[in-house]
Structure 1
Amino acid sequence: MKRLPVIAVLDDEPQLHKALRRLLVGHGFAVVNFEHGRDALAALEAQPMDCLLLDLHMPEFTGFDVLEGITARRITTPVIVLTGHGEPNTAQRVIAMGAVAYLTKPVDEAALLSAISEATGTASWNAF
């Protein structure tokens, strides 16, 4: 039996977790949700996942902190940044910090699935 690609979602919005889980599971991915950056870093350090969808603007431990932690720990999981607060130069900053893609919320389904496919080197089971 083929293993489903595992997508980690780190966001402080429970509604986004639900929506992304529904979308990603429907396209053949397994999903692990995190609400706190430290929890996600610990999980990724223990067992790399196929991709991390990362919100930048969270209380206490931001997405920028998570990107720094990923680099410091030499975690190889590809990161796609999702943000509702697109600001000038932010895309260049997160790419320089190691993210493979930068998408703004509300995220376009096709753009997200394409970014995940590129990041993981896989295609979803159910083509969009």
Structure 2
Amino acid sequence: MPHIPLVAIVDDDESIREALCDLLMVAGLACRTFDGAPAFLADRAARGVDCLITDVRMPGMSGLELLERVRADGSNLPVIVLTSVLDQGARARALELGAQAWLTKPVADDALLDQLKAAIGSEHWPVEPGP
């Protein structure tokens, strides 16, 4: 049975989490959602994800702080930052920490899926469902 890539979505906006999860499931990916960085870090099952999508501005811990924590733990988990923040300094910091991409909301579905495919690796990408 082929491995279905699991993507974690960390965003404090429930409607964003739901919309992203719907998109990923249609694309053949599995997803887990978290309402903030602390919830992601506290969930031991989150260690099994293949990619992380995170917002930047969230209460408690920002997406950049989450990315710093992930890297400090020695993980090279692919991370995609999806945010409405237009701060070039924050963008530069995220990319310096090894973020796969910095995408701004609203993002085109194809742009996000292309970045996910690059992050996960096309060899792990699910086969498109047939008619």
User: How high is the TM-score relative to the length of structure 2?
Assistant: 0.88
User: Which residue is 2:128 aligned to?
Assistant: 126
Q: Distance in 2 between matches of 1:46 and 1:20?
A: 17
Alignment partner, residue 93 of structure 2: 93
CA-to-partner distance for each residue in 1:69-122, whole Å, 9 max, x for gaps? Answer: 111111221100001122223322110022111100001111100000000103
Partner amino acid, structure 1, of 2:99: A
Whole-angstrom distance in 2 between the partners of 1:111 and 1:126: 17
Is the CA contact (8 Å cut-off) linking 1:51 and 1:120 kept in structure 2?
yes
Conserved 8 A contact 2:40-2:46: no
1:23 Cα offset (Å) = 0.5
Question: Are residues 44 and 69 of structure 1, via their aligned partners in 2, closer, same or farther at CA, if it must alter by over 3 Å?
Answer: farther
Q: Which residue of 1 aligns with 2:15?
A: 15
Output the CA distance in 2 between the equivalents of 1:109 and 1:41.
27
- Gaps (5+ residues) in structure 1? none
- Contact between 1:55 and 1:83, CA under 8 Å: does it hold in 2? yes
Query: Which consecutive segments of 4 or more residues in structure 1 shift more than 6 A?
Result: none
Counterpart in the other structure of 2:24: 24
User: Which residue of 1 is the match for residue 54 of structure 2?
Assistant: 54
- Aligned to 1:85, the other structure's residue is in SS state coil
Aligned length: 127
Matches within 5 A, 1:37-48: 37-43=37-43, 47-48=47-48
**Contact in 2 for aligned 1:45/1:73 (Cα 8 Å):** no
RMSD between aligned alpha carbons?
1.8
**Cα gap change, 1:3/1:45 in structure 2, threshold over 3 Å: closer, same or farther?**
closer
Q: Percent identity?
A: 35
TM-score using structure 1 length: 0.90
Asked if the contact 2:8–2:46 (Cα under 8 Å) also holds between the matched residues in 1, the reply is: no
Unaligned stretches of 5+ in structure 2? none
Which secondary structure does the structure 2 equivalent of 1:125 belong to? coil
Instruction: Say whether the 8 Å CA contact 2:91–2:102 is kept in structure 1.
Output: yes
| Residues 118 and 86 of structure 1: CA distance in aligned 2, closer, same or farther (over 3 Å) | same
